[in-house]
């Protein structure tokens, strides 16, 4: 097992979650603002997870037509929302530094793997679609999200959303907001 950024990002986030929840001071306003932003992040992640065939298809449709990393963009939005809900501005800085240190390396590792797997199709896609901040017009290049072995086009599927276990993000977010709400009510 590799202990690089990709392998450590989720355990490290859980290590940060404990102190965050303990030190948080949520208010009605911070919870409302954070929940709105976190909801957007969950929607972006859900859309992306429902469009990607991990390790079989180069996803270039749906949110992947606008950004190469919609799951990570969704995570950034979601995490920012959760941190805002906690009511401690300084923890936003901690989260953003964590994200900036870990996720660019994870994205580079994934890009290297995708280039090995999909070669020129990925290189065309990489040249046309930004790594993180979405482009306005969708990519319409040659990859078309085709399955390497079967030629199946990619599109949103609830089944893929479930198979990719994206519901874990929704469950974790719900637990975090429940803890924050209880903290606010007991304060």
The two three-digit tokens of residue 80, written as one number: 């920012």
Q: Say if residue 6's pLDDT is above 70.
A: no
**Looking at residue 4, what is its pLDDT?**
59
Q: Tens digit of pLDDT for each residue in 114-136?
A: 999 999 999 999 999 999 999 99
Most confident of 3-7, 40-44, 106-110, 122-126: 40-44
**Looking at residue 108, what is its pLDDT?**
94
Q: Say if residue 37's pLDDT is above 80.
A: yes
For 93, phi and psi rounded to 5 degrees? -65, -45
Of 185, 180, 176, which is closest to residue 26 (Cα–Cα)? Answer: 180
Higher pLDDT, 150 or 169: 169
If you write DSSP's letter for every residue of 143-176 in order, what string do you get?
Answer: TTT-BTTT-PPP---HHHHHHTTTHHHHHHHHHH
**Average pLDDT of the chain to the nearest whole number:** 87
pLDDT band at 156, cuts 50/70/90? confident
The Cα–Cα gap between 61 and 138 comes to: 8
The Cα–Cα gap between 96 and 121 comes to: 32
Of 137, 31, 121, which is closest to residue 84 (Cα–Cα)? Answer: 31
Higher pLDDT, 38 or 2: 38
The pTM for the full model equals 0.88
Query: Stretch 73-83: mean pLDDT, rounded?
Result: 97
């Amino acid at each position: 097992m590799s202990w690089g950024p990709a392998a450590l990002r989720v355990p490290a986030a859980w290590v940060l979650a404990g102190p965050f929840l303990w030190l948080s001071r949520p208010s009605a306003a911070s919870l409302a603002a954070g929940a709105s932003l976190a909801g957007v992040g969950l929607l972006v992640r859900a859309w992306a997870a429902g469009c990607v065939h991990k390790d079989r298809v180069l996803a270039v449709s749906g949110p992947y037509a606008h950004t190469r990393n919609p799951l990570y963009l969704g995570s950034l939005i979601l995490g920012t929302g959760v941190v805002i809900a906690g009511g401690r501005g300084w923890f936003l800085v901690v989260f953003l530094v964590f994200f900036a240190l870990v996720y660019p390396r994870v994205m580079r590792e994934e890009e290297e793997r995708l280039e090995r797997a999909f070669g020129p199709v990925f290189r065309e896609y990489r040249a046309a679609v930004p790594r993180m901040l979405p482009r306005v017009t969708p990519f319409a290049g040659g990859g078309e999200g085709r399955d390497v072995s079967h030629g199946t086009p990619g599109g949103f599927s609830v089944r893929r959303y479930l198979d990719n276990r994206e519901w874990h993000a929704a469950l974790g977010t719900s637990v975090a907001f429940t803890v924050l709400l209880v903290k606010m009510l007991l304060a």
